[in-house]
Amino acid sequence: MAEHLPYPSARQRAILTPFFRALRAYFRARAHGLEHLPRRRPVLYVAKHPQCYLYFETMLLGLFTFFTDADWPEIQVMEKQGTSLHKTPLVAWLRRNVNTIPATEDAALEALAAGRSVLVFPGGARELHGEPDVVQWGGRRGFARIAALAGVPVVPLAIAGADRQHPWRLRLGKQRTLWLPPLPLPARLDYWFGAPIAPPDAARPDRVAAFADEVAAATQALIDVALRAQRGPPADARQSATRGA
């Protein structure tokens, strides 16, 4: 088992914190529902995979939580290792220094057992290239098994605006995508944290499957709430309020 050094280190904090603060200003990022998060205990965050390749929106999670409040456990992000992005200058350095772990059950269980929270995107590539703001986890229930085995609650997470950073995409074969514009647009990012959901009994496969579907529905509902809040009330409602004033 590899030794896990405290994250962020003094060097990482000195470099990353100003960068993350700049990202927060660029995306006008806001957090909602932080009061739902348990203190001093790990959780398994689940979210729709953002439609982007730099994952700036994922990096901001630390700034809203454990970077600024030691009561929240650090968050490690499960991601596929060894992709072309891991060999790209600068991007590769960022990915090595934003607390990722391999997308395996063993890695997640090890992190949770050590008191660190974990973020997983169950939809993976199907959401990366699918319809914006739509959860697509059909049949992918590994996160529910991880929560059950670790005995930790699941926290649904919605990042409104994450799928609007690159309005245009060009598929270059099965494995590559050209994201346009190359740098993300300053779409407003709103982070919504749902209420923790208690894990199922690991000895009941039927409950684990039902739990996965329950969490997927809760995550989609949270995305819908986040998007409605971003858009504001309908025009007719605003006009009625103005006339009433």
State yes or no: pLDDT of 188 exceeds 90.
yes
CA angle in degrees (0–180, nearest 5) for 65-187-232: 90
Predicted pLDDT of residue 54: 87
Predicted pLDDT of residue 15: 87
> What Rg, from alpha-carbon coordinates, does the chain have?
18
Predicted pLDDT of residue 245: 46
Span of 24-33, 148-157, 166-175 with lowest mean pLDDT: 166-175
Rounded mean pLDDT, 67-80: 90
Please tell me the chain's helix, strand, coil percentages from 3-state DSSP, rounded to the nearest 5: 40, 15, 40
Q: Confidence band (pLDDT; 50, 70, 90) for 238?
A: very low
Predicted pLDDT of residue 242: 43
Domain ranges for the chain: 10-244
State yes or no: pLDDT of 99 exceeds 50.
yes
- State whether CATH 3.40.1130 applies to domain 10-244: yes
Whose CA is closest to 110, among 82, 81, 152, 69?
A: 152
Span of 87-96, 139-148, 188-197 with lowest mean pLDDT: 87-96
As beta bridge partners, residue 46 has 120, 156
Predicted pLDDT of residue 21: 95
Span of 22-36, 185-199, 209-223, 224-238 with lowest mean pLDDT: 224-238
Q: Which residue has the higher pLDDT, 16 or 217?
A: 217
State yes or no: pLDDT of 175 exceeds 80.
no
Measured CA to CA in angstroms, residue 133 lies from 5, 59, 109, 159 at distances of 35, 19, 28, 9
State yes or no: pLDDT of 58 exceeds 80.
yes
Predicted pLDDT of residue 86: 64
Would you give the DSSP letter of residue 36? G
Rounded mean pLDDT, 133-152: 95
Amino acid in the structure at residue 228: R
Q: Confidence band (pLDDT; 50, 70, 90) for 47?
A: very high
Residues with Cβ within 8 Å of residue 1, at least 6 apart in sequence? 110
